[in-house]
Amino acid sequence: MTDRSTIDIGLARRLVDSQFPQWSELPISGVEVDGWDNRTFRLGSELTVRLPTGDWYAKQVEKEQRWLPALAPQLPLPIPTPVAKGAPDAGFPYPWSVYRWLEGELASKAHVGDLTAFATTLAGFLNALARADATDGPPPGEHNFFRGGPLATYEAEALEALDKLGDEVPREAVLRAWDDARSTAWDRAPVWLHGDVAVGNLLVRGGRLAAVLDFGSSGVGDPACDVVIAWTFLTGSSRDRFRAELDVDAGTWSRGRGWALWKALITLVGHLENDSPDAALPRRDIEQVLADRARD
């Protein structure tokens, strides 16, 4: 992992100027919400620079350069468009990318006019992604933190977190939901998945879902991990519509609950250890997952 503080505007400026002098006159600025896997900077008004923060994240550069142009024509919403691929240089050890800028506000901060319509549009996008030609697509691995692989990959981590939490969560209910999720498996041909369908990767314009960002965790495999937003952002009728519109079976929905539990459990442990007020967020996610399971 590279020290994030060293991945700054100055470094981005040096990399762009040395490798893409045609853009040396364009200003470089920070963005409002920066990611963890990559540091992102705006280059002029139409481009962005993305610099990986670690070697696992750097594995995503070639994948996105190769596959995003192939996926884009098959999808109903805009996704990032690679414009150029940079090389390690100026003390920066990883390949990096330049993309087209996509306008909009992150769903985490934007006003979503109709959450049910948002859920419908998102389901349509994920259905189209799953229908995209997966021939020779990248299987789960380090490049995407094994998204699309079996939920068992993170079972030890989830159960360890559950033990650490003790009475902070309803242990038996969590275990029942986890066992439900683990009792199913993806038994069909692998399909394309995004891998990180979260509010920080969804752009909104005019109250509507307008684009999907950050395909670093994408790959081909089991799409259950893409269902997690059902409990982290959607609620009530919007969750019901998402499930109705999404082309997944009951087992995939159940494994999605498992992915959501894993993430919420480990996140809650971290927040409690740091006495963070953000602990309320994973607590809510766990409650939403358990309530949804109780309805089935």
- Amino acid letter, 8: D
Low-confidence ranges of the chain (pLDDT < 50): none
Q: For residue 98, what are the β-bridge partners? A: 49, 84
Segment (H or E) for 49: strand 47-52
CA-CA distance, 165 to 256, in Å (whole number)? Answer: 21
List Cβ neighbours of 143 (8 Å cut-off, separation of 6 or more).
56, 59, 60, 63, 219
pLDDT digits (tens, 9 = 90+) for 169-219: 999 999 999 999 999 999 999 999 999 999 999 999 999 999 999 999 999
Q: Both ends of the chain: CA-CA distance in Å? A: 42
pLDDT computed for residue 1 by the predictor: 59
List Cβ neighbours of 192 (8 Å cut-off, separation of 6 or more).
71, 129, 130, 132, 134, 137, 218, 219, 220, 223
What would the DSSP string read from start to end of 222-244? -GGGGGTHHHHT--HHHHHHHHH
